[in-house]
Chain A
Amino acid sequence: AQSVAQPEDQVNVAEGNPLTVKCTYSVSGNPYLFWYVQYPNRGLQFLLKYITGDNLVKGSYGFEAEFNKSQTSFHLKKPSALVSDSALYFCAVREGTAGNKLTFGGGTRVLVKP
């Protein structure tokens, strides 16, 4: 069975400071990893994905994530956080193609203070 852990329920960061949201995963085969963001009263928006290739992937709104196979992690990062980055972030994993189930982590609420 596949699973995702987001160890922090909430991350607080000052505007302009680096932002990191942690994610670790467990899957039996090759992982397909995703980050989504959910703003209040909105659906999920796709940020970035790792399928294969470079371990550092860049996505929307200046976010990036690093795939670390040995640590089974896929942490989301942004060099300089904005107040508008305050939202709920979800990490997700899937084994293989889109026909397989996508499993979400519990979510991490990010609060960026001015």
Chain B
Amino acid sequence: SAVISQKPSRDICQRGTSLTIQCQVDSQVTMMFWYRQQPGQSLTLIATANQGSEATYESGFVIDKFPISRPNLTFSTLTVSNMSPEDSSIYLCSVASGYNEQFFGPGTRLTVL
């Protein structure tokens, strides 16, 4: 199984600022995903990040709000831009390869004041 780390593990941010979350994997993976888990809710896919191409965003999520980078096969970043309290969530990075299950990072707990 892949080992995934995320930075920061948690942060408290002011309204209107931006936060970049980093995701590092210990092996090369084809597919990387970013999810959001709002308080008491299930996981919602934000976007799929493939190396060498633009991320594919799900309905309700846009690149201006959640820009994503995928510079290589082991690393990705998600930026939460112009934050509001509604962005307070856990953001999770996930990886998959082939037919295997997805593995998840420990998450980044974001609180926006």
Contact = CB atoms under 8 A, between A and B. Distances in A.
Interface of A: 32, 34, 36, 41-46, 49, 51, 90, 97-99, 101-102, 104-107
B98 A46 contact: no
A105 B92 CA distance: 16
Interface residues of B, number: 26
Given A46-B103, A46-B104, A105-B42, 7 more contacts: A44-B92, A98-B97, A98-B98, A99-B31, A101-B45, A104-B44, A106-B42
Interface of B: 1, 4, 30-31, 33, 41-45, 48, 58, 92, 96-107, 109
B106 A43 contact: yes
Contacts of A36: 104
A43 B105 contact: yes
B109 to A, nearest CB: 8
A65 B33 CA distance: 26
Contacts of B102: 34, 46, 98, 102
A107 B4 CA distance: 23
A57 B48 CA distance: 28
A51 to B, nearest CB: 6
A41 B58 CA distance: 26
Contact of A43 (B31, B41, B100, B104): B104
Nearest to A98: B96
10 contacts: A43-B92, A43-B104, A97-B98, A98-B30, A98-B31, A99-B31, A101-B45, A102-B96, A102-B102, A104-B44
